[in-house]
Structure 1
Amino acid sequence: MIEGALESLLAPADVLRRQTLLLIGPWAATWARQREMRVAVLGAIAVVASFLGAALAPLWMLALGPILLGVPHLLGDVRYLWVRPGFHRRALCWLTGGVPLLVGVLTARVVWGLLGAAAALLIARTSWRRRCLGLAILVPLGALSVHYSGWAELLFAHLHNVIGIALWWAWRPRAGRLHWVPLGLFLLASAGLLAGMAAPLLAWSGGLSAPGSGTSMSYHMASLAPHAGRELGLRLVLLFAFAQSLHYAVWLRLIPEEDRPRAAPRTFVGTFRALRDEFGVWLLCAVGALALGLAVWACVDLGAARTGYLRFAGFHGQLELVAAALLWAEGHFGSRRPPTERTSG
């Protein structure tokens, strides 16, 4: 009964989608058949929109992005990094990855994510050559993160957004070159933000002042660039806002497109059914309730809701480290078959 009600709520969105495809006529078939072209277009749109948002209204992006897209992107993280590859069915993955992640959330130390990734390599179904290569990278990084505690967490806060983009690049099939379009735009936009190219747009829009956003630019500069000068600190905050927005797009649109077994995009009802099959309807309802509760909290106190979400979501950056180590070690990247087929086959 609950499933039928949820599908009824999604049905109008599918009607609108169908009408839109009819309007674009012959282009609709190309859009449906050519996955790589579709992903390249969606990625390029995401880069441009994220750049403009960071240059015109960075405080609103930093405030509303986690509220509107944070919880769905966490679901995407867990789905594609843990459930789709089948790691949730392996007790050793829970043991070696779950314990360090739990401690990492409680301590907010990135070393625990690196420790979890190293432990994951030890139980991965892979060759000893690949296992040793991964450990040769992770062990020095772990030692550096202990020695430079604080700096490591600050650096990881920025690199975490780029990790999602790197995972998408590794996820995609080794075919075609259209993926270089959004990647090239991302690099150009990042360089432009660091060079100060957004300053005219920011001055024109008055984006440094957003009284209703619940935070101030000085707050973000103190948390994201505490040791930088004002000019460089501002540019780093804008770069973070841009990369965070693109990080959400990766988990909500680009990786789902790459991972889907069929090239054609799913309907909204079809997406719900796929999620239901993987998570169960009650867990999806719980995730929906969490997203709705966060939105209601934001209506009361936007700044507090954002802070609460970031504390709750602290696990997912370290989950990306653990899962990326497993995915790389077991050769999940760069194949057209979805991860579930690779694991079971």
Structure 2
Amino acid sequence: MATEALPSARPVPHATPGTLVAVFGVVATVALVTALRLPATVTVVGLAMFGILHNVLELRYVSGRFGAILTGRFLGLLLVLITGIMLCRLVPMLSWSAPAEILLGYLVLAVGCWWGLRRPLPRAAALAALGCAAVGSLTFPAYHFVFLAHLHNLVPLFFLWEWARDLERGRAAFRATQLAWVLLVPALILAGTFDPWIGGDRDGAVAAFAGGGERLLSAYAPPAWLDTALALRLLVVFAFLQTMHYVVWVWFMPRHARAATECFERRAGALRGRRAWLLGAAGAALLAVLFASDYAGGKTLYGAVASYHAYLEFPVLLALLAGGGPTKEQT
């Protein structure tokens, strides 16, 4: 399948793979200790400080790096569907909003499969699997949104894995490091390895500010697990992965994937240079004020705005895994 070449994402010359591995190791250790001791604080304060900023910077990277995929009718249809999801999130209390978001989310995935898969059999199999999954999500919507929250924090692994293909040496060590913090550390947390160090009672005031401990936990743990030790472990997992998620999009990609930024700026000159950072910082400041005055309202607004970066990454990944996305003729 003929595709347009993706821009290079080579790291800056002074960032050796060994240095990157060491930095990720140190950062992950600090993030883990903080998430263990103050899981609610890390989750709530991290979202207020870096939520909007990482949205802007992630969209900048994805649009620059995968501009050959996000074009034409494919991009237009995705934006229409994701805008529908945003509207559903703005009215979360209505009876139809959650089912509608679930259906629109699966349509986004279906578009990604249809666009990326060219052979009839794999395409049909993928769409059938999505149909079965959609039935399960509609039957158990609370489980669907908990799964989606955690899945979003795993997505950087795929972008980091793809970024590493341009490393001339040290690729295996770099990728192994990403697997360690994305998969191994959360597995150890869920297994209870770090239970003696979990300090969920130390930030109870933050949990109360966010609507109460049970409400906070319910966003990251399935309903059947809320009264078990796994609920707090899942909150710790989310706090840890969310922190690392922000590290990837706010520090790593802007510094070590500058070619993607340059590609984006050629297409969107209005956000050249520091303007994207200023936009993200301004959004973060406004969100922090809203959180302080009305946390529930702030969370709803953030969830709506975040729809674009949260859902746009999935069809891009599907297109990449399927072989690179649309041909020039299809854009």
Task: Tell whether the structures are fold-level matches, with TM greater than 0.5.
Answer: yes
State the match for 1:92 in structure 2: 73
Task: Find the residue that maps to 1:178 and give its secondary structure.
Answer: helix
Residue 70 of structure 1, CA deviation: 0.8
Whole-angstrom CA distance in 2 between matches of 1:198 and 1:54:
11
Higher RCO (CA-CA < 8 Å; seq separation 6+): 2
**In the alignment, structure 1 residue 128 sits paired with structure 2 residue 124:** no
Whole-angstrom CA distance in 1 between matches of 2:118 and 2:216:
43
Task: Write the letter of the residue equivalent to 2:28.
Answer: V
Q: Is the CA contact (8 Å cut-off) linking 1:113 and 1:318 kept in structure 2?
A: yes
Equivalent residues, number: 291
State the match for 1:202 in structure 2: 198
Q: Is the CA contact (8 Å cut-off) linking 2:69 and 2:324 kept in structure 1?
A: no
**In the alignment, structure 1 residue 322 sits paired with structure 2 residue 315:** yes
Residue 161 of structure 1, CA deviation: 0.9
Runs (4+) of structure 1 exceeding 6 A deviation are none
State the match for 2:243 in structure 1: 245
CA pair 241-86 structure 1, distance change in 2 beyond 3 A: same
Task: Write the letter of the residue equivalent to 2:286.
Answer: G
Q: Is the CA contact (8 Å cut-off) linking 1:71 and 1:290 kept in structure 2?
A: yes
Task: Find the residue that maps to 1:170 and give its secondary structure.
Answer: helix
Q: Is the CA contact (8 Å cut-off) linking 2:39 and 2:236 kept in structure 1?
A: yes
State the match for 1:168 in structure 2: 160
Task: Write the letter of the residue equivalent to 1:312.
Answer: V
Residue 66 of structure 1, CA deviation: 1.2
Residue 56 of structure 1, CA deviation: 0.8
State the match for 2:258 in structure 1: 260
Residue 261 of structure 1, CA deviation: 4.1
State the match for 1:33 in structure 2: 14
State the match for 1:54 in structure 2: 35
RMSD of the TM alignment (CA)? 3.3
Residue 299 of structure 1, CA deviation: 4.1
Whole-angstrom CA distance in 2 between matches of 1:313 and 1:82:
15
Residue 135 of structure 1, CA deviation: 5.6
Task: Write the letter of the residue equivalent to 1:141.
Answer: L
Task: Write the letter of the residue equivalent to 1:81.
Answer: V
**In the alignment, structure 1 residue 74 sits paired with structure 2 residue 69:** no
Whole-angstrom CA distance in 1 between matches of 2:251 and 2:164:
13
CA pair 307-148 structure 1, distance change in 2 beyond 3 A: closer
Task: Write the letter of the residue equivalent to 2:236.
Answer: L
Q: Is the CA contact (8 Å cut-off) linking 2:40 and 2:206 kept in structure 1?
A: no
| 1:105-124 aligned within 5 A | 105=86, 106=88, 107-108=97-98, 109-124=101-116
Whole-angstrom CA distance in 2 between matches of 1:198 and 1:210:
23
Residue 92 of structure 1, CA deviation: 0.9
State the match for 1:27 in structure 2: none
CA pair 256-328 structure 1, distance change in 2 beyond 3 A: farther
Whole-angstrom CA distance in 1 between matches of 2:269 and 2:282:
15
CA pair 242-138 structure 1, distance change in 2 beyond 3 A: farther
Whole-angstrom CA distance in 2 between matches of 1:37 and 1:308:
40
Task: Find the residue that maps to 2:204 and give its secondary structure.
Answer: coil
Scaled by the length of structure 2, the TM-score of the pair is 0.74
Scaled by the length of structure 1, the TM-score of the pair is 0.71
Q: Percent identity?
A: 24
1:215-257 deviation digits (Å, cap 9, x = unpaired)? 2332222232222132111111111111121222222233345
Task: Write the letter of the residue equivalent to 1:45.
Answer: V
Residue 190 of structure 1, CA deviation: 1.1
In structure 2, runs of 5+ residues without a counterpart are 1-11, 89-96, 326-331
Whole-angstrom CA distance in 2 between matches of 1:148 and 1:292:
34
Task: Write the letter of the residue equivalent to 1:199.
Answer: D
State the match for 2:134 in structure 1: 145
Residue 123 of structure 1, CA deviation: 4.0
| 1:273-312 aligned within 5 A | 277=266, 279-281=268-270, 284=276, 285-302=278-295, 304-312=297-305
State the match for 1:338 in structure 2: none
Task: Write the letter of the residue equivalent to 1:136.
Answer: A
Q: Is the CA contact (8 Å cut-off) linking 2:188 and 2:194 kept in structure 1?
A: yes
Q: Is the CA contact (8 Å cut-off) linking 2:113 and 2:126 kept in structure 1?
A: no
Whole-angstrom CA distance in 2 between matches of 1:299 and 1:146:
38
Q: 1:217 aligns with which of 171, 190, 213?
A: 213
Task: Write the letter of the residue equivalent to 2:282.
Answer: A
Whole-angstrom CA distance in 2 between matches of 1:66 and 1:116:
25
Whole-angstrom CA distance in 2 between matches of 1:85 and 1:98:
15
Task: Find the residue that maps to 1:128 and give its secondary structure.
Answer: coil
Q: 2:149 aligns with which of 157, 162, 171?
A: 157
**In the alignment, structure 1 residue 191 sits paired with structure 2 residue 187:** yes
CA pair 65-303 structure 1, distance change in 2 beyond 3 A: farther
CA pair 42-312 structure 1, distance change in 2 beyond 3 A: same
Q: Is the CA contact (8 Å cut-off) linking 1:65 and 1:245 kept in structure 2?
A: yes
Q: Is the CA contact (8 Å cut-off) linking 2:78 and 2:108 kept in structure 1?
A: yes
Q: Is the CA contact (8 Å cut-off) linking 1:145 and 1:152 kept in structure 2?
A: no
Task: Write the letter of the residue equivalent to 2:224.
Answer: H
In structure 1, runs of 5+ residues without a counterpart are 1-30, 263-270, 333-345
